[in-house]
Structure 1
Amino acid sequence: MKPLHQRLHLYTEGDDTYIFVPVDDGIDTQSLTIHRSSGEIVLNRPNTPLPTYARRSPRTIYGIVGLISLSLSEYVILVTGRELRGRLMGHDIYRATDFDILPLNPNVSVHSPHHPVEGHLLALVRSHLRGGHFLFGYSWDVTRRLQAQWETQELAAHKSLWEMADDRFFWNRFLQSRLIDATVGNAKQDLGKYILPIVYGTFDLRAAFVHGRHMQLCLISRRSRFRAGTRYFRRGIDREGNVANFNETEQLLLVEGPTTPGAQRTSDDLFATKLSFVQVRGSVPLYWAEVNTLRYKPDLQIMDLQDTADVMKKHLEELVSIYGEQALVSLVNQKGHEQPVKDAYERYIAEINLPNVRYEYFDFHNECRKMRWDRISVLIDILKDDLERQGYFQLDAGQAIPTKIQKGTVRTNCMDNLDRTNVVQAALAKWTLNKQLRDLGIIPPGAGVDDYEALSKDFREMWADHADAIANAYGGSGALKSDFTRTNKRTRKGLLEDGLKSVMRYLKNNYFDGARQDAFDLVTGAWIPRKSPAASLFLITDVRPLITRSVPVVASFSLFMICAGLTLPRSSDYSLFYYFMLWFTLLTISLVFILIHGIDYVSWPRLIPLIDVIYYSGPGFRSAHHGKGLNGNKDKMAIAKRARWLAGPRRSKVGVEELELGDIKKRVD
């Protein structure tokens, strides 16, 4: 595989060009020029001299994330800080820690753009870069599992990293499209050494010693860029078969060959055996959503559309083509709020009846009630035949072909694919690690990871950190039930921590995730800005009715007056009775109004509004119609007015879209 440039110096020639020059990269170095006026990208000939008046930036560039076009200018996004996360089989893996954004338009300032729309879009990009967990390597394909890399090793030998990257996990694929197009469309220049694939995920690598054998245990998760977003604003499946919160998790075990006592390791990659075990998770592959209404439990919406079975089939067939047979483990509750999702999932699975796909339901909360977390062993026993048959990938040094191939994966989901899913995936990973160590003869039959305290502690911490990272990215807080993953015990302290995390999720999901979802849609290319900020004024204006905007002000002022009244002098016990009655009445009326019209106070995404979900009235299931006013979903005129402020003008990759709202059709451009 062709390695990438690891360090670049940036030179600017007035307002004309950005020039990127590789550092310490041989005598035939080819610099890269981006012309600011035209946006043209040119790979210079080897050893092209710098312009006379070029000025070097003091910051070192560790990679080009890509280019993004906003309403006033295109911008180059650069990695200016990195953290070494580990050295995997002789390859350094980094996390991007700092970024810089450079405008192509010389009249635009990144720090103080002269139009508020541009400032808002830039703030979305910055928040996404700051809030994400981005990983990359210059000589190792972080986007692909070990087995996939072995299967294509001959093809990859003469390819650039971006050409072999897994398109699902190539997070900045949209941002790199300008550099890729300049390469693909021009046979005279190959920008492959400048195109850096980045993964949104986790990476943890730890050394271990068991019975004198040196090993490394590595855990990598990769988040799909398709249908990416936040917990309540990206659920279920889309028409291309992509599901929300899809993650591939790979556990690597690298085992060094037997050595003589006191021998020193002379290479970064002396591992005699490399083993890989892959699992996947993803949202229930139905058209469904949970509609925020400011209540703790959102309204559950399941949409039975004509193509539901087709897109579910497409999704599962893709998994089979990539990973092999699928064991679908559903942890959704069979009672209460979640039951309709479970029932619909099972109904469609039975309808499509795919070969190489087996569905298994596990009633997690019932089986593990009263903190009986050891009951997860029941699920392991059920899946034992699947795990044995699917196996894991094993590559031994000196062997032309792998000793073992993983022939399938377990696809786990709960409602959010976070907390219950994390616990089950960690249990499956531990079962497989135990089997791998026994198969290699490192531990005796009957022994397990938990018998070796140092290895067990590292394993638990890795999976708990992995769970927290995925939960933060999707749900807005660390994972629940992580105390069990970290300690093998469920504790009352863990229950209290879960309560705090649940409150944090509620606040973020209702009041902050709209902007976070917009950032996902902007950076992944799901929404593309127009070249006129005036067309996107809906992003920075509140077009809700005046009464809707004023009620929170009335509630806040009433609360202030009540607090102020507590400090006023009293001539008798009844002197302030009418004063408090007035402000308590106003506060109560305001809070009741906000609760009844809850959806008007949720921080909804603005780039791709969800009115087709919020006001869906076709076949399916709806648990309730909270937050839509006193008439709920019956007042078509009220729906039309509310939809008008929810759905500002937008431009997306799919262009013009017709949104069915019962008898109402709203054309959104």
Structure 2
Amino acid sequence: MRHLHQRIQLYTQGNDTYIFVPPDTPGAQSLTVHRSSGELVLNPPHSLPPSARRTGKLIYGILGIISLSLSEYVITVTGREFKGQLMGHDVYRATDFDLLPLGPNINVFNPPHPVEAHLLALVRSHLMGGVFLFSYTWDLTRRLQAQWENREQDASKPFWETADDRFFWNKFLQTRLIELTMGNTSQNLGPYILPIMYGTFDLRSAALHGRTMQICLISRRSRFRAGTRYFRRGIDHNGHVANFNETEQLLLVEDDIAAGGPRTAGGDIGTQMSFVQTRGSAPLFWAEVNTLRYKPDLQIMDLQDTSDMMRRHLQEQVLIYGDQALVNLVNRKGHEQPVKEAYERYVAQLDLPSVRYQYFDFHNECKHMRWERISILIDDLEADLKRYGYFHVKSNQPEDVQLQRGTVRTNCMDNLDRTNVVQAALAKWTLNQQLKALGILSNDGSIDAYEGISKDFNEMWADHADAIANAYGGSGALKSDFTRTGKRTRKGAMEDGVKSLLRYFKNNFFDGARQDGFDLVAGNWVPRKTPASSLFLVTDPRPLITRSMPVAASFSLFMICAGLTLPRTSDYSLFYYFLLWLTLLSISLVFIFIHGIDYVSWPRLVPSTDYIYYTGPGFRSAHHGKGFGGENAPKTRSGTSISAKWLNSGKKRVGIAVVEEGEKKRVD
């Protein structure tokens, strides 16, 4: 593969150009970005203009270019953290970023318009809130088997061309550089196009029975239908599902020199094994509608193309990974039951030959902390796991020992907590099988008998679970005490309660802006070049009475607290004082509770009205939070509840067409 520039020095020519110069690559072409036109030009080697001034900023990669309402910005990586060395390749996490405006009069710290300031804040929040990983010499976006199978044809290709499109997180930001490079031999920007992956990376060394090894865990988050817990559920009209993650567990074992094995380069890794699992939202058109209640309203939409999109999604999984075992952990009773029934109904209708459905009632089987009963699911899947196998190659052999020919796709409602527990159990079972195949463990052995490697394994999977849960749900994973220690404790249950409350507040009051950040960086929404057309982003279009209720509630609570400090002549002297403020507080809270949808932090760039006010066939658990009339509240001609009509105002004001994620959207 062609190399990537690992360090870039930034030069400027007044307010006219940015010049990116790779100081460590002899004969490399520098890159000039003309601020007035946005033109990108590669310069001949050693052709830095005399008037260029070095800025002192050291850049570790160019993330791409994003267009906002007043200017375009070059996003650069200015901080990185070393995460580990995988088979001789350094892996980093991006820790700091810089936005370089192309507009000559733009100050990124004090933008001239509130809309631009808001959009910049969304971009910064997204960058600083994510876990972005990269390597200059190893393709982090692709699993080991995919790289090995395509190693010959990919040897001379640039990184951006071989990266897995699903996990190339900054693909939209790199669009300008990629388009200039494609079919243009004189403008090869490949060394500047750094693919970034959103996910996790953990690498631990271990020794067992005299064999030195490394265990690595990599999780890759898909950029399609990406977002937060309640604002991205189910499937879209391109067959992409929410919260799709590919998780790869690598086992790298050094050669047994005592047994006469030849030493190899790159850390003496003679044996490479990989086991891949996937997770993703139930592939239906469904959502949970936040209403300020702890349990949102469940909405399942039976659309005409549900079967086609599920087929498209599952066939893509078969094409990429091989046969599929669909493990569904959704509850068979209560709030989650309709999702289970709809999933099973459509899977039965499709009856795909390479897809097998497996249901496991997680909460019922493992209730009263009987977590060891996950072994029941493993027993049910054992035949599939053995048939799918895992990827296995040896460095001194030109052919593979074994290919992985299928994957287990696991889901619960959020694809977080229950999914994490099950995936960790499947990964441990497979790791034991791999160590037995190498002769490191006996036929009845298990890593559980070895404290060091068992502890590292559990911590890796627990940290991985926390990272995915934070990215999607807003808190660390639940049930992580079981993942870390193999036991469910009362302390862990209490910590789960705190995490659940944290998720509630973030999902209801903060995730709207987080979702906007996803949609902006992924290119699901592109602003006009006139900030006035996007003023809905910085204004509150809700009716005055709706906006005033939290103020009334807060002031009433303050007056009640103040009243507790007032002097009194008798126990009844302040009775009417407290009665007044308690009544006002109660009225305010009841109003807020009944109109709950109006107080949720909804995404504004790509509104959620398509499922909030869906009236077609399907299932709806309730119609809370829509005003005093609920489902029967007065409607506009478009079917929107009058009490929450403001939710559509942003979309109507700028003429946004609600189209599916994964497509480029532009507002002109």
TM-score bin, normalised by smaller chain: over 0.9
Structure 1, unaligned stretches of length 5 or more? 660-667
Q: Mark the CA change 1:85 to 1:658 in structure 2 (over 3 Å): closer, same or farther.
A: closer
* 2:577 alignment counterpart: 579
* 2:7 alignment counterpart: 7
* 1:20 alignment counterpart: 20
Deviations 1:299-335 (A, max 9, x none): 0000000100000000000000000000000000000
* 2:81 alignment counterpart: 83
Structure 1 residue 187, shift from structure 2 partner: 2.9
| Matching of residues 37-186 of structure 1 within 5 Å | 37-48=36-47, 50-186=48-184
Report the Cα distance in structure 2 between the residues aligned to 1:640 and 1:486, rounded to whole angstroms.
47
Alignment partner of 1:328 out of 326, 329, 344: 326
Report the aligned-residue RMSD. Answer: 1.9
Report the Cα distance in structure 1 between the residues aligned to 2:658 and 2:466, rounded to whole angstroms.
36
Report the Cα distance in structure 2 between the residues aligned to 1:472 and 1:574, rounded to whole angstroms.
50
Report the Cα distance in structure 1 between the residues aligned to 2:653 and 2:23, rounded to whole angstroms.
39
Structure 1 residue 657, shift from structure 2 partner: 4.3
8 Å CA contact 1:527, 1:652 repeated in 2? no
* 2:198 alignment counterpart: 200
8 Å CA contact 1:529, 1:651 repeated in 2? no
8 Å CA contact 2:626, 2:641 repeated in 1? no
Structure 1 residue 651, shift from structure 2 partner: 10
Report the Cα distance in structure 2 between the residues aligned to 1:304 and 1:153, rounded to whole angstroms.
43
Letter in 1 for 2:529: K
Structure 1 residue 459, shift from structure 2 partner: 0.3
Report the Cα distance in structure 1 between the residues aligned to 2:533 and 2:574, rounded to whole angstroms.
52
Structure 1 residue 635, shift from structure 2 partner: 2.8
* 1:35 alignment counterpart: 34
Alignment partner of 2:352 out of 348, 351, 354: 354
SS at match of 1:365: helix
Check if 1:466 corresponds to 2:464. Answer: yes
Alignment partner of 1:491 out of 489, 492, 516: 489
Report the Cα distance in structure 2 between the residues aligned to 1:29 and 1:607, rounded to whole angstroms.
40
Structure 1 residue 452, shift from structure 2 partner: 1.2
SS at match of 1:514: helix
Check if 1:396 corresponds to 2:394. Answer: yes
Report the Cα distance in structure 2 between the residues aligned to 1:53 and 1:601, rounded to whole angstroms.
55
Deviations 1:574-618 (A, max 9, x none): 100000000000000100000000000000000011111111111
Report the Cα distance in structure 2 between the residues aligned to 1:522 and 1:30, rounded to whole angstroms.
31
Alignment partner of 2:285 out of 284, 287, 303: 287
Deviations 1:545-594 (A, max 9, x none): 00000011111110000000000000111100000000000000100000
8 Å CA contact 2:626, 2:633 repeated in 1? no
Letter in 2 for 1:628: K
| Matching of residues 411-560 of structure 1 within 5 Å | 411-560=409-558
* 1:646 alignment counterpart: 647
Structure 1 residue 648, shift from structure 2 partner: 3.7
Report the Cα distance in structure 1 between the residues aligned to 2:478 and 2:444, rounded to whole angstroms.
31
Q: Mark the CA change 1:308 to 1:290 in structure 2 (over 3 Å): closer, same or farther.
A: same
Larger mean CA deviation between 462-471 and 52-61 belongs to 52-61
Q: Mark the CA change 1:453 to 1:265 in structure 2 (over 3 Å): closer, same or farther.
A: farther
8 Å CA contact 1:525, 1:653 repeated in 2? no
Q: Mark the CA change 1:294 to 1:592 in structure 2 (over 3 Å): closer, same or farther.
A: same
Report the Cα distance in structure 2 between the residues aligned to 1:417 and 1:657, rounded to whole angstroms.
26
Structure 1 residue 632, shift from structure 2 partner: 1.0
Structure 1 residue 260, shift from structure 2 partner: 4.3
Structure 1 residue 634, shift from structure 2 partner: 2.1
Larger mean CA deviation between 217-226 and 50-59 belongs to 50-59
Q: How many residues align?
A: 659
* 1:664 alignment counterpart: none
Report the Cα distance in structure 1 between the residues aligned to 2:548 and 2:444, rounded to whole angstroms.
67
TM-score, scaled to structure 1: 0.96
Structure 2, unaligned stretches of length 5 or more? 661-666
Report the Cα distance in structure 2 between the residues aligned to 1:651 and 1:355, rounded to whole angstroms.
45
SS at match of 1:558: helix
Letter in 1 for 2:5: H
Letter in 1 for 2:647: L
Letter in 2 for 1:115: H
Deviations 1:341-394 (A, max 9, x none): 000000000011111000000000010000000000000000000000000000
Structure 1 residue 266, shift from structure 2 partner: 8.4
Letter in 2 for 1:647: N
8 Å CA contact 1:527, 1:651 repeated in 2? no
SS at match of 1:454: helix
* 1:306 alignment counterpart: 304
Letter in 2 for 1:436: Q
Report the Cα distance in structure 1 between the residues aligned to 2:367 and 2:650, rounded to whole angstroms.
48
Larger mean CA deviation between 579-588 and 50-59 belongs to 50-59
| Matching of residues 196-345 of structure 1 within 5 Å | 196-260=194-258, 267-345=265-343
Report the Cα distance in structure 2 between the residues aligned to 1:589 and 1:651, rounded to whole angstroms.
32
